[in-house]
Amino acid sequence: MNITRLIVALDAGRCTRCGLCVERFGDYCISQLNGLPVIDYHICNICQKCVAICPSQAILVNNTAPEKIDSAISLKSGDLLALLARRRSTKIFKEKGLSENTLKSIIDVSKYAPNQNKNIDIIVITDREIVDHIDTSALNLYRRVYQVLFSLKPVIFFLTRLSPSLFTIKKKMEYDLFTSKRIVKPGTQALILLVGNRRVPVTESSAHYLLSTMIIFAESLGVGSCLMDSVKIALNWNVRTRKKLRIPRKWSVLGVLALGYSNEKIVNIPRGYMPRVQWNCGTGATGNGTMR
């Protein structure tokens, strides 16, 4: 697996010396020399904002000029809100395959995620045999964990008193191990693995941006999705499976996304829940600044 290398560079022939990028990033990651912008690669985290704002398309990524935006986005906020409101994690998928074009488009949209670490690779698994192998590996790990935590009644008693949430974990593990007998959701058509070096700053948060972008776009295509944290943990513990998937030794699985067509009919948008919000209002501002 090759580590992604991106290079942001100036095409001096295109540059009109307008100074917009220098003004925006001056004295930080872009300065000016003889009228031309100079990128400080010790600071640049390849956010590509300079590429996005350059009116002459003079800043390139991997020697590729950006695409000019010809018109304003016409997407209505109400349409996006309706999409987000109806989306739910898919627990059961149809036995209906995803076309290669659909899968590629979902993967491709990840490049627009607002991540700051571009050294993240995506592994796409559609082979049912490999998916089943990953599922079996996850089940075996959780079976061992279950036996260690909950095999002795005195241990169960002590642990549940120490942390009441362990009772919930126990019930969930029992469902996965003895009722469902699966970790990967039935009918999963593709597993998307994001891998990278967790020790590099903002790697994990960047992976979350990629995942959320793919989830929302998949929903717009009518494709269901489910984050598989249990599979992520299991893969990070299973050296043999990691070798099979050619994941570098120092890299971690940062996220796992299951894709497929949902076999659940969503007919209601839940109401009644609001996240706790605190408004830190200044003098004269409305609101009491208290938690709900």
Domain's final residue, options 159, 180, 201: 180
Most trustworthy range by pLDDT among 72-86, 173-187, 246-260: 246-260
Residues 34 and 170 in one domain: no
Residues 96 and 176 in one domain: no
> Does residue 2 form part of some domain?
no
Cα separation, 59 vs 222, whole angstroms: 36
Residues 245 and 137 in one domain: no
Most trustworthy range by pLDDT among 76-85, 99-108, 171-180: 99-108
Give the helix ranges, DSSP H, for 195-272.
Answer: 203-220, 229-237, 239-244
Residues 174 and 191 in one domain: no
Residue 189 amino acid letter: Q
Residues 164 and 230 in one domain: no
Residues 256 and 190 in one domain: yes
Residues 15 and 116 in one domain: no
Nearest of 109, 88, 87, 93 to residue 258 by alpha carbon? 93
Please spell the DSSP secondary structure of 88-104, one letter per residue: ---SSB-S-PPPHHHHH
Q: Tokens 């996006």 correspond to what residue? A: 80
pTM for this predicted structure: 0.82
If phi > 0 it is left, if psi is from -120 to 50 it is alpha, else beta; for residue 123 that is beta
Supply the pLDDT for residue 249: 86
Residues 203 and 249 in one domain: yes
Supply the pLDDT for residue 2: 46
Lowest mean pLDDT among 65-69, 118-122, 129-133, 287-291: 287-291
Which residues, listed in sequence order, are joined to residue 39 by a DSSP beta bridge?
30
Q: Looking at residue 99, what DSSP letter applies?
A: P
Q: Tokens 């998916």 correspond to what residue? A: 131
> Does residue 291 form part of some domain?
no
